[in-house]
């Protein structure tokens, strides 16, 4: 292989042993999303006390990139303020795994990397709009999510 590495030790390790893997029963936020190209298919479960993320888990099946990125995302948002999480940017996530180059080099695989972030943004959007009746707080999360692939 040459060029920018994708399959680093860290990614292989996460894909084999994903973090926060599992299900939360009756979570406050639940979002299923899939990537028809790869067949990546994940469910993201999040609980919050209204200001902070208190618990986050995911399950599903996917390629190594998807599994690693989802794992890292769940680690990064654990115990964070909802406001912070709302503004969480894709670059932060990609940088954590050294995958920034995918934006340029692989318009196809970038979708695998950002699937979980997309699910998260949609999930929080639905939480604000449907559970909290607070369209303002939801801001442009929906548009942001849609622009992630």
Which residues bind to other proteins, rule: CB under 8 A? 1-3, 6-7, 12, 15-16, 37-41, 61-66, 106, 109, 112
Nearest to other proteins of 2, 51 (CB atom): 2
Nearest to other proteins of 7, 147 (CB atom): 7
Nearest to other proteins of 94, 112 (CB atom): 112
* 3-state SS string for the chain: CCCCCCCCHHHHHHHHCCCCECCCCCCCEEEEEEECCCCEEEEEEEEECCCEEEEEEEEEECCHHHHHHHHHHHHHHCCCEHHHHHCCCHHHHHHHCCCCCHHHHCCCCHHHHHHHHHHHHHHHHHHHHHHCCCHHHHCCHHHHHHCCC
Q: Cβ of residue 129: shortest distance to other proteins, in angstroms? A: 32
Q: What region does 5 belong to: left with phi over 0, alpha with psi -120 to 50, or beta?
A: beta
Nearest to other proteins of 2, 26 (CB atom): 2
Q: Cβ of residue 6: shortest distance to other proteins, in angstroms? A: 6
Q: Cβ of residue 30: shortest distance to other proteins, in angstroms? A: 21
Nearest to other proteins of 12, 146 (CB atom): 12
Q: Cβ of residue 70: shortest distance to other proteins, in angstroms? A: 13
Q: Cβ of residue 77: shortest distance to other proteins, in angstroms? A: 24
């Amino acid at each position: 292989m040459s060029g920018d590495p994708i399959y680093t030790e860290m990614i292989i390790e996460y894909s084999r042993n994903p973090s926060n893997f599992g299900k939360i029963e009756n979570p406050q936020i639940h979002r299923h999303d899939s990537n028809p190209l790869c067949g990546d298919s994940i469910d993201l479960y999040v609980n919050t006390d209204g200001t902070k993320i208190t618990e986050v888990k995911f399950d599903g099946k996917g390629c190594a990139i998807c599994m690693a990125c989802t794992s890292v995302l769940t680690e990064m948002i654990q115990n964070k303020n909802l406001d912070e999480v709302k503004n969480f940017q894709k670059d932060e996530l990609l940088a954590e795994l050294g995958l920034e180059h995918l934006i340029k080099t692989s318009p196809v695989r970038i979708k695998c990397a950002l699937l979980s972030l997309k699910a998260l943004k949609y999930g929080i959007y639905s939480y604000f709009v449907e559970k909290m009746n607070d369209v303002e707080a939801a801001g442009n999360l929906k548009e942001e999510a849609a622009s992630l692939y």
